Amino acid sequence: MLRSLGLGSAAIGVGSVLSSPRLSANTAQTPSGPVRNPYIYAFHIGDLEAWSISDGFMKFGQGLDLMYPESERPAMKAALEGIYEPADFLPLYVNVLVIRSDREVMLFDAGFGISERADRGWLMEGLAEIGIQPEAVTAAFLSHAHGDHQAGFIAPDGKPMFPNAAIHTTPEEYNFWRQKEHDFSKSRRNPKAIPGMIRKAQERFEILGDRVQQTKAGSRLFGGTVTIENGFGHTPGHALYRIESAGESLFHIVDSVHHHMLMFRDPKWSIGLDHTPKLAVETRQCIFAQAAQSRTRCYGFHIPWPGIGHIAQQGSGYAWIPERQWWQCRCS
């Protein structure tokens, strides 16, 4: 209809839009591949500019076979069916939080790194799109040394991706990976995969060198803008981050949660990727109780993008309440 009205009729305006070079080029071509949906979400925490950039996603094909305790899998399946979610794979999002203050550009974990795979490695494109060059990142936070959090700190040429960034990680995390012997006796990971995971973490720490700063849980950085908190259990030194500005806050709960429903429904339901499962559950219970009681705005690394929301008490467990999305514009 528009076409028949508009073409050849610049006088009514529609025609001039339709005949613009950009639009005619777009309409003339068949898209060559799937369109990537929006993956950059801008918001604020007080006076801080913030972005949630999706670095991609993971689909764990083991589905509920990756969840514990085993005896609870039928209950988990029923819970997934109740919210129309598949049970044959677990969807995990990969969300990188970026914050800009008047002095710092901060990155909270770095995702998978640039990848040939289409489903991951989007962070650097996202940073470019919001006008942040790698050199501009001044402070980075490595919550733990798993590949989906640490690999993005290394560029494809094997050098540090963010040359001017101090990378804060807890001494417990740093020392665990750097030591010679590693106790994985409580982990449910496939034993065959563990040596490779350790080697890669060590190699990345080697490349990052003295850019890595061991910063203890409880530390307050940048005048109290970021407080590092103890999230131990998922890994030996897993860190959480409380970000505060002008009376507002965001609590980055990182990998204390992996699925957006299961771990909330029952915090004792766990993914088989935790280093110390019992401690990971205790940490999660503590975080949920505190966040629900204090109505704290939260952010999750693996929660559906953009990953901002609240934790509410529901029945004997909890629920993730995603925050309604909103726009950034020069409008009131």
Q: Which residues contact 179 (CB under 8 A, 6 or more apart)?
A: none
The maximal CA–CA distance of the chain, rounded, in angstroms, is 77
Residue 65 has phi, psi (to 5 degrees) of: -65, -15
CA distance 97 to 52: 5
Which of these, 114, 111, 95, 169, lies nearest to 139 by C-alpha position? 169
Q: Which is nearer to Zn ion, 93 or 162 (CB)?
A: 93
Nearer to Zn ion, 101 or 170 (CB): 170
CB of 109 to Zn ion, least distance (A): 8
Q: Could you give the CA distance from residue 255 to residue 308 in angstroms, rounded to a whole number?
A: 14
CB of 207 closer than 8 Å to CB of 154: yes
- Taking the complex as a whole, how short is the minimal distance between the CB of residue 187 and Zn ion, in angstroms? 14
Nearer to Zn ion (CB atom), residue 244 or residue 255: 255
Binding flag, residue 55, Zn ion (CB under 5 A): no
| Nearest CB to Zn ion, comparing residues 150 and 245 | 150
SS3 at position 195? helix
- C-beta of 143: minimal distance to Zn ion in Å? 8
Number of residues near Zn ion (by CB under 5 A): 2
Report the nearest approach of Zn ion to the CB of residue 55 (Å).
Answer: 11
Min. distance of Cβ 182 from Zn ion in angstroms? 18
10 Å CB burial of residue 32 (0-12, 13-18, 19+) is exposed
**Which span (28-36, 213-221, 249-257, 316-324) binds Zn ion, by CB under 5 A?**
249-257
Report the residue number, 208 or 303, with the smaller CB distance to Zn ion: 303
In this structure, are residues 239 and 189 in contact, taking their beta carbons and an 8 Å threshold? no
Residue 234 CB, nearest distance to Zn ion (Å)?
8
Who's near 46: CB < 8 A, 6+ residues apart? 244, 245, 246, 247, 248, 249
Minimum CB separation of residue 146 from Zn ion in Å reads 5
**Of 6-14, 132-140, 238-246, 255-263, which part binds Zn ion (CB under 5 A)?**
255-263
- Report the alpha-carbon distance of residue 205 to residue 212 in Å, rounded: 8
Nearer to Zn ion, 48 or 96 (CB): 96
Query: Which of these segments, 8-16, 43-51, 125-133, 253-261, binds Zn ion (CB under 5 A)?
Result: 253-261
Query: CB nearest Zn ion: which residue?
Result: 255
Q: Pairing mode, if any, of strands 270-271 and 67-68?
A: antiparallel
User: Contacts with Zn ion in 160-189 (CB under 5 A)?
Assistant: none
- Binding test (CB under 5 A) with Zn ion, winner from 255, 260, 271, 281: 255
The correct pick among 148, 172, 244, 266 for binding Zn ion (CB under 5 A) is 148
Positions touching Zn ion (CB under 5 A) are 148, 255
